[in-house]
Amino acid sequence: MSKLFSPLKIRNVVFKNRIAVSPMCQYSAVDGFPGEWHFVHYGSRAVAGTGLIIQEATAVSPEGRISYGDLGIWTDDQLVAYKKLTNYISSHNCIPGIQLAHAGRKASATKGWEEARSLSKEEGAWKTYAPSAIAFSDKYSAPDEMSEDDIKKIVVDFKQASLRAVLAGYKTIELHFAHGYLVHEFLSPLSNLRIDKYGVSFENRCRLALEITRAVRSVIADVVPLFVRLSCTDWVEGGWNINDSVRLAKLLKEEGVDLIDCSSGGNISSAKIPIAPGYQVPFASQIKKEAEMLTCAVGLITKAAQAEEIISENKADIVLLGREMLRNPYWSLNAAKELNVDAEYPLQYLRAK
């Protein structure tokens, strides 16, 4: 029997299988609102047998957007559009999840298919914030160093965004603490040079992550699973690493986090990442074992047999597919066929089963 297609229960939510769509920015929102593109993009993957969809990085404030095209959830006015989306995803026995994010020093930038750089003043650039006034690269503007009042606002923004997410019908929330965005910038000693209570020591650099997590868990129902995406290493000597991630995972678990989504990189522009099929799976396996937590594996997972092996060998509890899901929205149904699983098809597609 396939382990990949076995159900998984986290708190009161049951995922019909262990396959999830990884959060991937579409850069197609207008003023943070989703549109027809998002409805088709996410709806097609819900129809196609996926157990969980984690919506792309959704900004908790306007200034937290990577680009003008990012989704946002900073105002109640945005909830109506999201309710339509979550209702449709849920109607196909797929769990709608959302990734809440703040881009930090990588905000106010171009869209993903353009040259990666900060926007110019003429293009409508906005002020960016980070733990320290260090630019991501020579193509990015230097951010303002955040005051403690700025940091307190970030915690409130995440808290309010998570409450809106639940009201909008999202059944799983993921906090984006990875890929060189704001919280990751605080975690890494390479981007955090503060000397106050948010810098220097491991405990201080983790403070914002724990404050946000605590605030979010305080306002979402106990039945709502809470995930955290971590960059498990900076891939640079002296930076954040897998051992730090294990330590943080244990602390996050105490604050009510249920699962760690194990990615890597994104904080140091010059990092050399040894990309290969399944290259981040060992991070998920180590955190699962040493922190005794559920984990997601992500990163060049493309084949059904590969995903099955990850789950069956207990290296992770969910596999996240990103680019492969862009190429093939119906990956889940194709994987079921390859693994001889009698998967649920939409009635409209039964003739193709």
170 is catalytic: no
Whether 257 contacts 209, CB under 8 Å: no
Q: Which of 42, 170, 181, 198 is catalytic?
A: 181
Nearest CA among 161, 212, 157, 203 for reference residue 183: 212
pLDDT of residue 114: 95
Per-residue pLDDT reduced to its tens digit, 283-295? 999 999 999 999 9
CA distances from 222 to 175, 245, 334 (A): 16, 24, 35
pTM over 0.95: yes
pLDDT by residue (tens digit) across 90-103?
A: 999 999 999 999 99
In the chain, DSSP assigns E strands to: 8-10, 13-15, 19-21, 52-59, 71-72, 95-101, 129-130, 144-145, 172-177, 226-231, 259-263, 294-298, 318-321
DSSP for residue 42:
H
Type of residue found at 40:
V
Residue 1 is predicted with a pLDDT of: 86
Instruction: Give the N- to C-terminal CA distance of the chain in Å, as an integer.
Output: 19
Whether the Cβ atoms of residue 263 and residue 231 lie closer than 8 Å to each other:
yes
Q: Beta-carbon neighbour count of residue 315 at 10 Å? A: 20
Say if CB 205 and CB 236 are below 8 A apart: no
DSSP string covering 81-98: HHHHHHHHHHHTT-EEEE
- 213 in Cβ contact with 228 (< 8 Å): yes
One digit per residue, the tens of pLDDT, for the chain of length 353 reads 899 999 999 999 999 999 999 999 999 999 999 999 999 999 999 999 999 999 999 999 999 999 999 999 999 999 999 999 999 999 999 999 999 999 999 999 999 999 999 999 999 999 999 999 999 999 999 999 999 999 999 999 999 999 999 999 999 999 999 999 999 999 999 999 999 999 999 999 999 999 999 999 999 999 999 999 999 999 999 999 999 999 999 999 999 999 999 999 999 999 999 999 999 999 999 999 999 999 999 999 999 999 999 999 999 999 999 999 999 999 999 999 999 999 989 889 989 88
Taking the CA atoms of 163, 165, 170 and 172 in sequence, report the sign of the dihedral they define.
negative
Query: What is residue 186's three-state secondary structure?
Result: helix
